[in-house]
Structure 1
Amino acid sequence: MNPIPPAEFTILHLGLGSFHRAHQAVYLQALHEAGDRRWALSGANIRPDMADVLAALRAQDGRYTLETVSPAGEYRYQQIESIREVIPYEPKLAAVIARGAAPSTRIISFTVTEAGYYIDAKGKLDMSFADLVADIGRVQRGEIGQTIYGALVAILAARRSGDGGPVTLLNCDNLRHNGERVRAGLIEFIERVGDMDLLAWVKAFTRCPNAMVDRITPRPPAELRERVKAATGRDDAAAITGESFIQWVIEDDFIAGRPDWGRVGVELVNSVQPYEEAKIRILNATHSCIAWAGTLVGLNFIHEGTHDAEIRKFAFDYVTDDVIPCLSPSPIDLAAYRDVVLDRFGNPAIKDTNQRVAADGFSKIPGFIAPTIRERLAAGGSIDSVAMLPALFLAFLQRWHAGQLSYAYQDQGMDPTVAHAICAAQDPVAALCADRLLWGNLAGDERLVAAVRGAGDRVAAFLARRA
């Protein structure tokens, strides 16, 4: 392969999964193709996962093929070359820390699941998580942490001691107010570690803009490699697939420069909040609704549930009856956005699995769904349509409790003992609605319990019709 000339500035990205490679790397590739090659990506993982993918990327000098598919079934293949360095995993993260501390690295970005930030409903670190507590202990002993905070502390401490200069920390995930919340979590983590000098440096020399990202990126199917080879002639062991739609909205608050992303379609704004709320409540919550309902009636893929009239109506009514009133007025045409989202979910070529989308319900209920319920109740409105989502999740959880799911359920935010206790309770609806992790100050609210109970009856009738 032909070598690519070095870039002037680096973005170090932590979490070298499919989403990053179908999203942030693609925008930087577009900038390269527009003639601006000043920035490049360096990618790494902070945990020992995806070893095969990282090895394939290293063997291909960071190059890989992105397949995109439109709702009309149009396929496109693009080689992405914006990741110039793939750092292999090793427990001490020495090369990751060195790259993050280098003065040429001006942005450290990361993609983490909602549960991976360990943030409670009050925006504080949730110290009930044993791995978070253990990580604080590791860092206090001078060891390298295994959470995002532990990794960032190691990088930023090296940057400070090496006089690497200011750096922007950029979230690329679905956490609401993600920049603000990870900054608060990082500061609290450093406070608990007790490194006051580093704390002062982080407050002065880092920025954490909020950002909203969007592109459906399913796990690469087994047949993708052959499809890419047939279309391009390249035998690509690191190929990925995704929908044609892509969006990135970032608050323009960077302390050490940034790529000229506005040239290639990134929306750089003063406040990401209206875009973030629309995406989280309309796209993310609706995605989960369809995954839970689809699983319950034996469907495997998101597009199958989206084309099911009853399941589509659950999602449509939730957005129409409850989300749009909460988010209006908005700079976004919310009804049009709802329809675009459902069209995207209905794309049969994406083959996004219910298993992937149904994951992490114990983080998605408080993050994606509870805010709408809270706001509708505060305004004196009905929550009948939005209550279908926790009712579907409870029915889904009961299947998991009984060992009757067709796939392994993964939920980083779930305490299995608590989840089993909810399902085994004499009144599972009341037990679910009493859980403070899920509902915060709404826990036990009689209006919530009544609405979820009524929705549960509708879910039971729906399942009876499909039996």
Structure 2
Amino acid sequence: MSKYTWLHIGFGSFHRAHQAWYLNELLKQGDDTWSIAAGNIRNDSEHTIQGLLAQNNEYVLETVSPKDERAYEVIKSVKRPIAWEEGLQPLIAVGAEENTKVIAFTVTEAGYYLDSQFKLVQSDPALKADLEGGLNTIYGVMAKILRERMKLANGNVTLLNCDNVRHNGERFHDGLVEFLTLTNQQDIVDWLKDHATTPNTMVDRIVPRPAEDLPARIKEKTGIDDKAPVMGETFIQWVIEDNFKDNIRPALEKVGVELVESVIPYEEAKIRVLNVPHAAIAWLGTLLGELYIHDSTNLEKAYKLAHDYVTEDVIASLGNDLIDLGKYRDVVLERFTNPHIKDTNQRVAADGFSKIPAQMQPTLIERYKQGATPTKTARLPATFFVFMERWNEGKLPFTYQDGILDEAAVRAMYASEDPVAVFASDKALFGELAGKPEFVELMREQVAYIRELIA
């Protein structure tokens, strides 16, 4: 039996193809010190959990390279899938066990409910419910878990954010402290200072929703009848600030995880060179009639949109001191062209109202401060504007998914006399740039450019 438990909240495909893979690598080396327990805040993945429970908690991971080189591996590191229950007591109970020493989570960018000033969006219905005692967000659930851990003889724990959020550990910590303060739980805030750490991390692997033919392919290749398979690209990376509480952690350095003093250079490169182009290609590719990322990236117009943004604005903002960003750009765009992943534009296009302030706004601001006009970066939110215009008209080929979408406000924007000005004046999206005449005019020019590009 394992000595320590790694609890993961947000038991989706990404966790199963990323963090669970790394801990499985340790198992293969004979290190069974750690095992994973995993569950969800929302009741939206029970088919996966029930599938795992029916097959000894094991599942097959298929990885595929751009050259269609496929590999199949049985992942055995998830020992306790936690079935969802109203009130989340099973999940909270595992979080409150003394041998649970890491609580990690992937709840998407929108799952932190932060505005452009990194303050909680208290008007959001889910967060509002949790401020009144609910269990709809990572903050409400974590508050319940930590309250129980305070009762332990040794409740020390590492809280590990594994989402694509800049300075993700710090952002989660500050959001949690604000939540606890708003709910009059200062005792937990005080306890956190001495009993928990929240390291920053950077995670990377493209993991699409499992294709419909995946179970049949796995059956054919391995003979395994898997009810909960997962797939991902061959490439994988994980960088973590080595700041685990009491230095209690898996020996992740033995399986390729980079444990560093500061994640920031890796994080900035990944967010700006991978995450931002990924979303932009999904938006523009959809406007040009494509449904998949690889087909969209292979469009000259979409490829150029991403390439020019990195080349002209990101490299100028970040420099090439630690990471060769030009080389990284080319590797990333090649990864996007992998036709065998079949990653959908729908998945990657999601959560634009979170991605713009968290991932694009910093480059816009930095380039202005450098005395440059960030034309190529402004082109990306302009693409989103036209993309959402199609949504407003009911002309997208799929359902747009966004955790913080204010449908009424967006429809009101497009119904206004000057929708572009309303969009460019939104402080939640553009922070200090919102409403500035030169920025409004830049957005107006770029929206016109995108409309002509797709005509």
Q: Give me the TM-score of the superposition, normalised by structure 1.
A: 0.95
SS at match of 1:187: helix
Aligned-CA RMSD value:
1.1
Pick aligned residue for 2:434 from 443, 448, 451? 443
- Residue aligning to 1:432: 423
- Residue aligning to 2:166: 176
CA distance in 2, matches of 1:163, 1:222: 48
CA distance in 2, matches of 1:271, 1:448: 33
Q: CA deviation at 1:174?
A: 0.4
- Residue aligning to 1:381: 372
Pick aligned residue for 1:249 from 226, 239, 252? 239
The yes-or-no answer on 1:282 pairing with 2:273 is yes
Gaps of 5+ in 1: 1-5, 139-143
The yes-or-no answer on 1:92 pairing with 2:82 is no
- Residue aligning to 2:68: 73
Cα deviations across residues 298-329 of structure 1 (Å, max 9, x unaligned)? 10100001111111011100110001110114
- Residue aligning to 2:292: 301
- Residue aligning to 1:192: 182
Cα deviations across residues 148-205 of structure 1 (Å, max 9, x unaligned)? 0111111111111133420000011101111001111111111111122222112220
Query: 8 Å contact 1:102–1:164 — kept in the other structure?
Result: no
- Residue aligning to 2:111: 116
- Residue aligning to 2:197: 207
In terms of mean alpha carbon deviation, does 116-125 or 209-218 score higher?
A: 116-125
Gaps of 5+ in 2: none
- Residue aligning to 2:129: 134
Query: 8 Å contact 1:274–1:330 — kept in the other structure?
Result: no
Pick aligned residue for 1:160 from 133, 137, 150? 150
Letter in 2 for 1:43: A
User: Paired residues, what number?
Assistant: 454
Query: 8 Å contact 2:21–2:77 — kept in the other structure?
Result: yes
CA distance in 2, matches of 1:196, 1:365: 32
Q: Give me the TM-score of the superposition, normalised by structure 2.
A: 0.98
Q: CA deviation at 1:330?
A: 3.2
CA distance in 2, matches of 1:223, 1:78: 17
Letter in 2 for 1:246: I
Q: CA deviation at 1:436?
A: 1.1
In terms of mean alpha carbon deviation, does 48-57 or 118-127 score higher?
A: 118-127
- Residue aligning to 1:19: 14
CA distance in 2, matches of 1:369, 1:385: 11
- Residue aligning to 1:350: 341
- Residue aligning to 1:273: 264
Q: CA deviation at 1:435?
A: 0.8
Pick aligned residue for 2:384 from 368, 380, 393? 393
Query: 8 Å contact 1:136–1:145 — kept in the other structure?
Result: no
State percent identity of aligned pairs.
50
CA distance in 1, matches of 2:418, 2:369: 26
- Residue aligning to 1:141: none
User: Which segments of structure 1 move beyond 4 Å, counting only runs of 4 or more?
Assistant: none
CA distance in 2, matches of 1:421, 1:434: 14
